[in-house]
Amino acid sequence: MELRVEDAIQWFTKVNEKIQENKDYLTSLDQVIGDSDHGINMARGFQEVENKLSTQEYQEVADVLKEVAMTLISKVGGASGPLFGTAFLKFSQAVKGINPVDYTSFTSGIEEALQGVMHRGKATTGEKTMIDVWAPVVHSFQEAHDFEDNPFLKVAKQAMEDTKDIMATKGRAAYFKGKSIGYIDPGAASTYLIFEALEEVIKGSK
Amino acid sequence: MKKIINDPNLVVQDMLKGMVSANPSAIKQLPETTVIVRSDVPTVNKVGLVSGGGSGHEPAHAGYVGKGMLDAAVAGEVFTSPTPDQVLEGIKAVNGNAGVFLIIKNYTGDVLNFEMAAELAEAEGIKVEQVIVNDDVAVEDSSFTTGRRGIAGTIFVHKIAGAKAEQGAALDEVKSVAEKVVANVRSMGMALTPCTVPAAGKPSFELKENEMEIGIGIHGESGIERKEISTADEIASELVHKILDDGVHGPGDEVAVMINGLGSTPEMELYIINSKVNEILNEKGIHVYKTFVGEYMTALEMAGCSVTLLKLDDELKSLLDSRSEAPAFLV
């Protein structure tokens, strides 16, 4: 498959549904190792994304991604807004002018997204952040050759679960250090939801 | 919760309106934003200074907007960083084609949002530089920070960088003097009571009647230890010694002192603290050039104080003494 404008819109519509459904769950994860606002902030941001995407017209996938980015940047706040915002802004820049977005371009897009998040958060893998889900997913895209044969969701789920065993050294959770072990990182959990929504869009288009 | 507010969700907008009404000739609010700017922005060929952060620290930061200090202050929700689009509006408004300088307190959210705004501004062709203030010696990492936190010492960065920019200095010169202040300023605080974020409705932590917390942050983040309250002299001594232990200030140095109230500590108590701070510095052979006592960087209605020491040289002294029309820091 290739990602068209309507697929991209559907992707983030599904992300919003999942974030709203899991709002309390994400907040509960953040209560343990953060400041208990992750679900609330993400739900506010993605609801606004949904409001925009359902009323505006878009020429290409890059425009959808840019809208998502700028909305998250202005509506989510905290650290999550700039981090997810940067991810989709870089993604958008990488696929600008390519419509629909083929598998190779999509892979370049999420590579750029990952680089953007790492640069913005001054973080790398193994620090109990959303990067611990983004990075293996990007790797899975690099290894596979098309959307359909890519086990990225399985990879994402395992990666999210694995954040339980990591001790936080970055972000607010770092303050809780040892206490952070045994809990999934909230940013990793919401990143998983983003890829779960992508998988549904890919399956639905078959 | 007992507060003089209309609606917990409108406290920032209501406050900004009131600040502008109180100082209509000095400052104005950019329409549809939470950005307060000098009424004469942009000043052509002057470096524009932008700071800001979560609200609840008044008079920081909008009180420091005025000729000789900041050109813009961007207010976030209470104890929450402003978003990049808001910071970008501030940057664009103060850009007088000499570049824009950002003064950021070291909190993860503030750094991320201001840096993102800087990139967006650079994409629009505006030259942006920044300094990150991390004057709090209490803790290395906190629930809000990687590294040390930025607290009341930030006001000295506003004042001195602002004075430098007012003299017509270039962007790199403003950055360099701001870095000099950051290298020479250290602070530490303590609290007797917690504070309540209006939207939360209840205190973010509790302290027993006979308890105080040393090294607490300006959002109520944990400090070094909780213990039984002691005398003002003991508190002053503990704060000053912890600052001096950091090794920046020593015999023969000249310093500016700031005794900052966190919101509901009477000036009487701040002066009692200052008396002992002054005595200790004299004993150590550290000369006090200038002292500021009052509320400069608060934490809503928290009771408590912070002590800040800034080591001065001739350049910093002259910039500290130069004229400022900022409502909360008139010189």
- Segment B50-109, tens digit of pLDDT: 999 999 999 999 999 999 999 999 999 899 899 999 999 999 999 999 999 999 999 988
Query: What percentage of chain B carries pLDDT values higher than 70?
Result: 98
* Closest to A22 in 3D by CA, of A49, A42, A2: A42
Cis preceding linkage at B59, omega within 30: yes
- Residue B78, CA distances (Å) to A19, B54, B122, B131, B142 in order: 24, 5, 28, 23, 18
Give the pLDDT confidence score for residue B29 in this predicted structure. 98
Domain coverage including residue A118:
5-204
CATH number at residue A188: 1.25.40.340
Q: Which of A74, A81, A175 sits opposite B141 (nearest CB)?
A: A175
Residues in chain A closer than 8 A to B81 (CB atoms): 77-78
- Predicted complex ipTM: 0.75
- Segment B244-272, tens digit of pLDDT: 999 999 999 999 999 999 999 999 999 99
What is the rounded CA–CA span in Å between residue B158 and residue B168? 16
Give the pLDDT confidence score for residue A175 in this predicted structure. 62
B57 is known as an active-site residue: yes
What is the rounded CA–CA span in Å between residue B151 and residue B137? 10
Name the H helices within chain B.
11-22, 84-94, 108-123, 154-166, 171-184, 232-244, 267-283, 314-321
Q: Tell me phi and psi for residue B300, to 5 degrees.
A: 50, -125
The pLDDT of B225-234, averaged and rounded, is 96
Q: Report the gap between the CA of A126 and the closest CA in chain B (Å).
A: 16
pTM of the model: 0.88
CB contact under 8 A, A74 and B108: no
CATH of domain B8-183: 3.40.50.10440
Give the pLDDT confidence score for residue B108 in this predicted structure. 86
Give the pLDDT confidence score for residue B21 in this predicted structure. 97
Check if B8-183 and B185-313 are the same fold.
no
Q: Does domain B185-313 have CATH number 3.50.50.60?
A: no
Domain count along chain A: 1
User: What ranges do the domains of chain B cover?
Assistant: 8-183, 185-313
Whether B42 shows a pLDDT value over 80: the answer reads yes
B219 is known as an active-site residue: yes
CB contact under 8 A, B80 and A77: yes
Among B35, B115, B116, B122, most A C-beta atoms within 10 A, so best to mutate, is B116
Do B148 and B135 meet the contact criterion of CB atoms below 8 Å apart? Answer: yes
- Can you spell out the DSSP letters for B60-112? TTGGGBSTTSBSEEEEEEETSPPPHHHHHHHHHHH--SS-EEEEEES-HHHHH
Whether B47 shows a pLDDT value over 60: the answer reads yes
